[in-house]
Amino acid sequence: MQKLDWELYLLPFEQAVEEIKVKLKNIRNELRKRKEHSPIEFVTGRVKSVPSIYNKANRLQFPIDENICWELRDIAGIRIICQFIDDIPAVVEMIRKRNDMRIYLEKDYVSKPKESGYRGYHLAVEYRLMTARGEVTIPVEIQIRTLNMNFWATIEHSLNYKYEGIIPSDIRQRLIEAAKASSTLDSEMNNIREEIKEAQVEFTTREVPMESLLSLVELDLDVDDEETGDGLTTIEGKKHYDDDDELAKGS
pLDDT tens sequence across 8-35: 999 999 999 999 999 999 999 999 899 8
Kindly give, in sequence order, each residue whose CB lies less than 8 Å from that of residue 246, ignoring residues fewer than 6 positions away.
107
Question: Does residue 93 have an active-site annotation?
Answer: no
Domain 6-206, second-level architecture: 2-Layer Sandwich (3.30)
Q: How confident is the model at residue 205 (pLDDT cuts 50, 70, 90)?
A: low
Which of 41, 71, 141, 156 is flagged as catalytic?
A: 141
Q: Where are the domains of the chain?
A: 6-206
CB crowding 90-113: b at 16 or more within 10 Å, else e: ebbeebeeeeebeeeeebebbeeb
Q: What is the pLDDT of residues 65-88, one digit of tens each?
A: 999 999 999 999 999 999 999 999
**CB of 18 closer than 8 Å to CB of 78:** no
pLDDT attached to residue 108: 97
| 244 — pLDDT class (breaks 50, 70, 90) | very low
Q: What is the amino acid identity at position 36?
A: E
